[in-house]
Amino acid sequence: MAGGNGVTAQAVDHAFLAEVMASVPGDSRLGQCIQCGTCGGSCPSAADMDHTPRRLFAMVRAGMRAEVLGSNTPWMCVSCYYCAVRCPQEVHIPDVMYGLKSIAAREGRSPESAAPDFSRTFISNIVRYGRSYEVGLVARHYLRHFPTRIPGMAPAGIGMLASRRMVLRPHRIRDLRGLRAILGRAAELESGR
Amino acid sequence: MTRLLYYPGCSMSGTARGYASSLAAVAGPLGLDLHEVPDWNCCGASEYFSIGPLQGYALIARNLALAEREEGLDRTVVAPCSQCFVNLAKTARYLHTDPAFAGRVNDALAAGGLSCTPGAVDVRHLFEVIVHDVGMDTIRARVTHPLRGLRVAPYLGCLVTRPDSGERWREKEHPHAFDQMLEALGAEVVDYPPRTDCCGGHLSQISPSMGLEMLRRLLDAAARLDVDVIATLCPMCQMNVDLYQSEVNRRFRTRYHVPILFFTQLLGLAFGADAAALGIGSEVVSARAALAKIGVEVPEPEAPEPVAAGARPRKPRPGRGPELPMPRMPDPEEAEE
Amino acid sequence: MSAGQDGERIGVYVCHCGSNIAGKVDVAAVRDWAAERLGSHGVVLARDNKFMCSSTGQELIEQDIRELGLTRVVVAACSPHMHEKTFRAACARAGLNPYLCELVSIREQVSWVHSDQAAATAKAKAVVAGGVYRVAEHAPLEPIRVAINPTTLVVGGGIAGITTALELADAGFPVHLVEREPSIGGHMAQFDKTFPTLDCAACILTPKMNEVGTHPNITLHTWSEVTNVSGYVGSFQVTIRHRARYVNADLCTGCGICQEKCVERVVDEAYEAGLGYRKGIYMPFPQAIPKVPVLDREHCVYFEKGTCKACEKFCPTGAIDFTQEDDEVTVEVGNIVVATGFRLFDPRRVEPYGYGRLPNVFTSLEFERMSNAAGPTGGRIVLRDGVTEPRAVGIVHCVGSRDRNYNEYCSAICCMQSLKFAHLVREHTDADVYEFYIDIRAPGKAFDEFYQRVLEEGTVFVRGRVAEVTDALRFPDEAEHDGRLIVQVEDTLAGVQRRVPVDMVVLSAALEPPKDAYDVARRFGLSCSSEGWVIERHPKLDPVATMTEGIFAAGCALGPRDIPSSVANGAAASARILGRIYQGEMLLEPVRATVDEARCSGCKVCNDLCPYNAITFRADAGVSAVSPALCQGCGTCIAACPAGAMTGTGFSDDQVMAQIEGLLSASLAAPPAPVEVPTPEAVPA
Under a CB-based contact definition with an 8 Å cutoff, are residues C365 and C347 in contact?
A: no
pLDDT of residue A74: 95
pLDDT of C74 > 90? The answer is yes
Please tell me which residue of chain C has the smallest CA distance to A43.
Answer: C497
pLDDT of C388 > 50? The answer is yes
Q: Distances from the Cα of C139 to the Cαs of C96, C98, C591, C655, in angstroms?
A: 11, 10, 12, 10
pLDDT of C668 > 80? The answer is no
pLDDT of residue A115: 86
Chains that touch C (3 or more CB pairs under 8 A): A, B
Tell me if C276 and B221 make a contact (CB, 8 A cut-off): no
What 8-state DSSP symbol labels residue A170?
P
Write down the mean pLDDT value for chain B.
Answer: 89
pLDDT of B167 > 90? The answer is no
What 8-state DSSP symbol labels residue C615?
E
pLDDT of residue C98: 95
Under a CB-based contact definition with an 8 Å cutoff, are residues C684 and B102 in contact?
A: yes
Q: How far apart are CA C44 and CA C68, in angstroms?
A: 9
State pLDDT tens for residues C75-130: 999 999 889 999 999 999 999 999 999 999 999 999 999 999 999 999 999 999 99
Q: Distances from the Cα of C73 to the Cαs of C38, C67, C91, C228, C334, in angstroms?
A: 13, 14, 8, 43, 35
pLDDT of C675 > 70? The answer is no
Candidates C396, C491, C492: best to mutate against A (most CBs of A within 10 A) is C492
Q: How far apart are CA C73 and CA C52, in angstroms?
A: 13
pLDDT of residue B166: 61
Amino acid letter for position C394: G
Percent of chain C with pLDDT over 90: 87
Residue B45 sits at the chain A interface (C-beta within 8 Å): yes
Secondary structure E strands in C7-80? 10-15, 43-49, 72-77
What's the average model confidence in pLDDT over C132-161?
A: 95
What 8-state DSSP symbol labels residue C153?
E
pLDDT of residue B321: 60
- Measured between beta carbons, the chain A residues lying within 8 angstroms of B101 are 25-26
Tell me if B321 and C387 make a contact (CB, 8 A cut-off): yes
Q: Which helix (H) or strand (E) holds C333?
A: strand C327-333
Three-state DSSP class for B238? helix
State pLDDT tens for residues B29-80: 999 999 999 999 999 998 999 989 999 999 999 999 999 998 777 789 999 9
Q: How far apart are CA B41 and CA B48, in angstroms?
A: 13
State pLDDT tens for residues B232-265: 999 999 999 999 999 999 999 999 999 999 999 9
Please tell me which residue of chain B has the smallest CA distance to A47.
Answer: B210
pLDDT of residue B182: 97
Residue A145 sits at the chain B interface (C-beta within 8 Å): yes
Q: How far apart are CA C267 and CA B101, in angstroms?
A: 54
State pLDDT tens for residues C211-246: 999 999 999 999 999 999 988 899 999 999 999 999
Confidence bin at B164 (pLDDT 50/70/90):
low
pLDDT of residue C573: 98
Tell me if B44 and A153 make a contact (CB, 8 A cut-off): no
pLDDT of residue A173: 94
Measure in Å the smallest separation between the Cα of B324 and chain C Cα atoms.
5
Residue C458 sits at the chain B interface (C-beta within 8 Å): no
Under a CB-based contact definition with an 8 Å cutoff, are residues B90 and B101 in contact?
A: no
pLDDT of residue C671: 53
Tell me if A115 and B207 make a contact (CB, 8 A cut-off): yes
- What dihedral do alpha carbons A40, A42, A44, A47 form, nearest 10°? 30
Considering CB atoms only, which of A34, A42, A55 is closest to C467?
A: A42
State pLDDT tens for residues B277-333: 999 999 999 999 999 999 999 876 444 444 444 444 444 444 446 788 887 655 544
Residue C492 sits at the chain A interface (C-beta within 8 Å): yes
State pLDDT tens for residues C516-551: 999 999 999 899 999 999 999 999 999 999 988 899
Please tell me which residue of chain A has the smallest CA distance to B285.
Answer: A156
Q: How far apart are CA B64 and CA B121, in angstroms?
A: 7
Write down the mean pLDDT value for chain C.
Answer: 93
Q: How far apart are CA C164 and CA C676, in angstroms?
A: 50
Measure in Å the smallest separation between the Cα of B117 and chain A Cα atoms.
16
State pLDDT tens for residues C86-98: 999 999 999 999 9
Measure in Å the smallest separation between the Cα of B171 and chain A Cα atoms.
11
Considering CB atoms only, which of C403, C405, C464 is closest to A41?
A: C464
Q: How far apart are CA A171 and CA B312, in angstroms?
A: 45
Secondary structure E strands in C400-503? 432-437, 460-463, 468-470, 485-491, 496-502
* Those residues with Cβ within 8 angstroms of residue B41's Cβ, 6 or more apart along the chain or in another chain: A126, A130, A131, A173, A179, B59, B62, B63
Under a CB-based contact definition with an 8 Å cutoff, are residues C300 and C264 in contact?
A: yes
What's the average model confidence in pLDDT over C499-521?
A: 97
Measure in Å the smallest separation between the Cα of B38 and chain C Cα atoms.
28
Lowest mean pLDDT across A137-141, C160-164, C325-329: A137-141
Lowest mean pLDDT across A94-108, B303-317, C195-209, C499-513: B303-317
Tell me if B208 and A146 make a contact (CB, 8 A cut-off): yes
User: Considering only residues 239 to 298 of chain B, which have any Cβ-Cβ distance to chain A shorter than 8 Å?
Assistant: 243, 246-247, 250, 281-282, 284
Using CB atoms within 10 Å of the CB of residue A60, give its burial: 0 to 12 exposed, 13 to 18 middle, 19+ buried: buried
pLDDT of residue B3: 86
Closest CA to C225 of C340, C335, C345: C340
> Which residues in A88-113 are b (16+ Cβ under 10 Å) and which e?
bbbbbbbbbbbbbbbbbbeeeebbee
Measure in Å the smallest separation between the Cα of C543 and chain B Cα atoms.
31
Tell me if B100 and C682 make a contact (CB, 8 A cut-off): yes
pLDDT of residue A149: 86
Chains that touch A (3 or more CB pairs under 8 A): B, C
Lowest mean pLDDT across B118-122, C559-563, C569-573: B118-122
Considering CB atoms only, which of A23, A25, A122 is closest to B45?
A: A122
pLDDT of residue C6: 66
pLDDT of residue A87: 95
Tell me if B320 and C385 make a contact (CB, 8 A cut-off): yes
* Those residues with Cβ within 8 angstroms of residue A193's Cβ, 6 or more apart along the chain or in another chain: none
**ipTM score over 0.85, yes or no:** yes
Tell me if B15 and A84 make a contact (CB, 8 A cut-off): no
User: Considering only residues 54 to 83 of chain A, which have any Cβ-Cβ distance to chain B shorter than 8 Å?
Assistant: 74-76, 78-82
- For β-strands C175-178 and C218-221, DSSP reports them as parallel
What 8-state DSSP symbol labels residue B159?
S
Please tell me which residue of chain C has the smallest CA distance to B328.
Answer: C356
Please tell me which residue of chain C has the smallest CA distance to A34.
Answer: C438
- What dihedral do alpha carbons A19, A22, A28, A34 form, nearest 10°? 20
| Residue B223 neighbours by CB distance under 10 Å | 20
pLDDT of residue C584: 95
- What dihedral do alpha carbons C647, C650, C653, C654 form, nearest 10°? 140
Q: Distances from the Cα of C511 to the Cαs of C271, C309, C442, in angstroms?
A: 16, 39, 17
pLDDT of residue B327: 76
- Measured between beta carbons, the chain B residues lying within 8 angstroms of C277 are 325
Please tell me which residue of chain C has the smallest CA distance to B324.
Answer: C384
- For β-strands B151-154 and B229-232, DSSP reports them as parallel
Residue C221 sits at the chain A interface (C-beta within 8 Å): no
What's the average model confidence in pLDDT over C39-52?
A: 95
- Measured between beta carbons, the chain B residues lying within 8 angstroms of C267 are 325, 328
Confidence bin at B141 (pLDDT 50/70/90):
very high
Tell me if B207 and A48 make a contact (CB, 8 A cut-off): yes
State pLDDT tens for residues C244-298: 999 999 999 999 999 999 999 999 999 999 999 999 999 999 999 999 999 999 9
Residue C346 sits at the chain B interface (C-beta within 8 Å): yes
pLDDT of residue B305: 43
Measure in Å the smallest separation between the Cα of A90 and chain C Cα atoms.
7
Measure in Å the smallest separation between the Cα of A145 and chain C Cα atoms.
28
Candidates A118, A123, A188: best to mutate against B (most CBs of B within 10 A) is A123
Q: How far apart are CA C592 and CA C585, in angstroms?
A: 18
